[in-house]
Homo-oligomer: A and B are copies of this chain.
Amino acid sequence: MNVNIGLVGKGNVGTSFLQLLNKKKSIIIDSCEFEIKVVGIFEHDGAILDENGLILENLLGLGKDFRTHDNWKFGYRALDYIDKINLNIMIETTPTNPENGEPGISHILKALNNKIDVISSNKAPFYLEYEKIKKKAEDKMRLIRYEATVASCVPILSIKRNLQGNEIIGISAILNGTSNYILSKMSDEGISFSQALKEAQDRGYAESDPNLDIRGYDAAGKLVILANELLGYNMTIKDVNIKGIENINEFDIELAKSNNQVIKHLSFAKNGQLYVKPQRVEKYSHFNVNGSLNVIELETKNAGKIVLSGRGAGGIEAASAIMNDLISILQENTKYSSITFRG
């Protein structure tokens, strides 16, 4: 069975996904073999299109010079072409735009409108317009998956399926690696916030404008996605009470230490309330992780706390989450067989 894929965004995540896909070649599910064809790759300034499926080795061999590919079409935009190239699944990996979610939201809605299933690693659409996107997917009977948007490779969204016999009633989490790196540095080395931030920037963890990380906006967006998916909320980032770590100083850190505690930037969802704020935790808490790890604690009704942790960022990490989403969509489709699958 042929599955036609369109990749929108060929940055670190998109390229890592193509590399992973190139290793897999084809995917066999329930004795049904899927031949994955990448028929379109879109960047902001053009696209590479091939209705027979691009040869990934050749494409990947070009590296950052992919615009020299024979099939490069300058000026072809995803919004104008995703409905014209016979796609089964669109993978949205454009950079997240925290202001208005664009062009991600438009790509996603256009794909759904044209009965194309969607996978996204772009998170803003889901913390800004969750309800609209979910409703569109239901109306058009399409599948939409976005595991990579929270904690990258950690399967924290799809785990809902594995906990259906239980009930998740609350979430506490560390969702931003940069602010966690900064707080860890301050605590371990006794340095100031600004020094730690500079080190994070030097090591490439923080953007030159690190406000989304340290002011808690990035964590808040991920918290919204988690709460909507796992707790059944219907929130946007405007519903989160957000406090950043920019005012934490050496004195706060030392005071916590003297009580055998550390300060962490935590995200909470419970009883319909969403918070992101710096908070003290015990030194031996599972929240006391170093570096850029993410930790998510799920409070369950029947079985106490279940904790997951792993790398929260990275190209190949996000790509592996996208691959999981892809396999999950193919499995769902075999369920309904030829009824929902086109190609």
Chain A residues with a Cβ under 8 A of chain B? 20, 152-155, 158-159, 161-166, 284, 286, 288-290, 300, 302-311, 314, 316-317, 319-328, 334-335
Contact = CB atoms under 8 A, between A and B. Distances in A.
Contacts of A162: 155, 158-159, 161-162, 324
Q: So how many copies of this chain end up in the complex?
A: 2
B335 A309 contact: no
Contacts of A286: 286, 289, 309
Given A162-B324, A324-B166, A317 B302 contact: yes
Contacts of A324: 162-166
A162 B319 CA distance: 14
A305 B310 contact: yes
A241 to B, nearest CB: 28
Given A155-B159, A155-B162, A307 B308 contact: yes
Contact of A303 (B165, B314, B326, B328): B314
A266 to B, nearest CB: 17
Given A304-B310, A308-B306, A320 B166 contact: yes
Contacts of A300: 153, 320
B320 A311 contact: no
Contacts of A335: 334-335
A308 to B, nearest CB: 5
A306 B317 CA distance: 11
Given A159-B159, A308-B307, A320-B302, A20 B165 contact: yes
A181 to B, nearest CB: 15
A165 B325 contact: yes
The interface centre, meaning the residue of A162, A317, A327 with most chain B CB atoms within 10 A of its CB, is: A162
Nearest to A306: B310
12 contacts: A153-B300, A155-B163, A158-B161, A161-B162, A163-B320, A286-B286, A286-B309, A302-B316, A304-B317, A305-B311, A306-B308, A334-B335
A7 to B, nearest CB: 15
A325 B163 CA distance: 9
Nearest to A303: B153
A316 B303 contact: yes
A165 to B, nearest CB: 3
A307 to B, nearest CB: 5
